[in-house]
Chains A and B, each alone.
Chain A
Amino acid sequence: MVPCVARLSIPDLLAPYELGADAVVVISCAEDDCMYPTAESRLAHRIARVKTLLDEIGLGAERLDHWQTHGSAEISWTAFWEISRRKLQQVLAREKAG
């Protein structure tokens, strides 16, 4: 259980892929909404590092998405998830086609 995405470490972000996940979606709070001043940029650095690693591994950076809540969480989270899901479907289809 991660109480806040600012607590996500690089190994945390990689762990789902080891367990067989095709992709990971991180949804954080709205921009400039975090009470800890450097938390957002630190998360952004970790996400960038994991994307680089995913490219190096051969999985591809597009298998990790990061969204920031915009407006209502109930609405925006569903929308983000749908965009990421469709993107992943395209990635998997492209891979299957070789």
Chain B
Amino acid sequence: MIVGEQKPFAQVKSFIEEYGKLLVVGCGSCATVCLAGGEREVMTLASALRIAFLREEREKEILEHCVTRQCEPEFLEPLVARARSEGIEAVLSLGCGVGVKLLAEKLQDLPVFPGLDTKFFGATTEAGVWVEMCAGCGDCILHLTGGICPIARCSKSMLNGPCGGSKDGKCEIGPDTECGWALIIERMRRLGTLDRLDEVLPPRDWSSGHFGGPRRVVREELVTHRSDDE
């Protein structure tokens, strides 16, 4: 899932100070699972904002909405219609950065503010703990590394670790961070595939990642060519 974390309350409140009618929008997918921006978090944040403005004796209307997925245009249509019909002045999104961006695109002349800091692609390792598992680099090498990603799990994204900063399975950046390469070696030892690390690989092409510029995936067989229909 995409893991996010709510921005500090004061920062979120500062975004919306000048607007009278606000819609707080949650996302029923990743943001719900990581307990940052689902229906319950929308209720909580909207309530907290109402109390804060009430305390300042400032009249605001803060409404709530949650869509199944903020990253799919179809799910945003009812929200766009609601925003138009109810005279919403600004939207606060508790979706990830993708949701904020798509909402902004669909709502055109309405300001859309982020309520979350989007962190990473990760998994829940225990209740309340999320760990980065994938860097979305566009060139997956998990078949070579026992299913553990050195790009995401190694602090230096090294392809030939562990480095000298690895000690007792921990990374030099902090005792809470596991050494990604220690995890890879342990896993491959257990699988009996450690010898595969002896293989010499060509230099990696990093352009498949974000360093190559904004990316897109196009599957021609699924694309509806609007110009053909019109």
Contact = CB atoms under 8 A, between A and B. Distances in A.
B40 A14 contact: no
A57 B9 contact: yes
A56 to B, nearest CB: 4
Nearest to A38: B127
A6 interface: no
Most A CB contacts (10 A, CB to CB) among B10, B44, B52 go to B44
A11 B40 CA distance: 8
Interface majority SS (helix, strand, loop, mixed), chain A: helix
A57 B40 contact: no
Given A18-B54, A58-B55, A53 B48 contact: yes
Interface in B16-52: 40, 43-44, 47-48, 50-52
B202 interface: no
B51 A9 contact: no
Interface in A35-89: 53, 56-59
A25 interface: no
24 contacts: A9-B43, A10-B40, A10-B43, A10-B44, A11-B40, A11-B47, A14-B44, A14-B48, A14-B51, A15-B47, A17-B51, A18-B50, A53-B9, A53-B48, A56-B8, A56-B9, A56-B10, A56-B48, A57-B9, A57-B51, A57-B52, A57-B55, A58-B52, A59-B51
Contacts of A56: 8-10, 48
A14 to B, nearest CB: 4
Contacts of A15: 47
B41 to A, nearest CB: 9
Given A10-B44, A14-B44, A14-B51, 9 more contacts: A14-B48, A18-B51, A18-B54, A53-B48, A57-B9, A57-B48, A57-B51, A57-B55, A59-B55
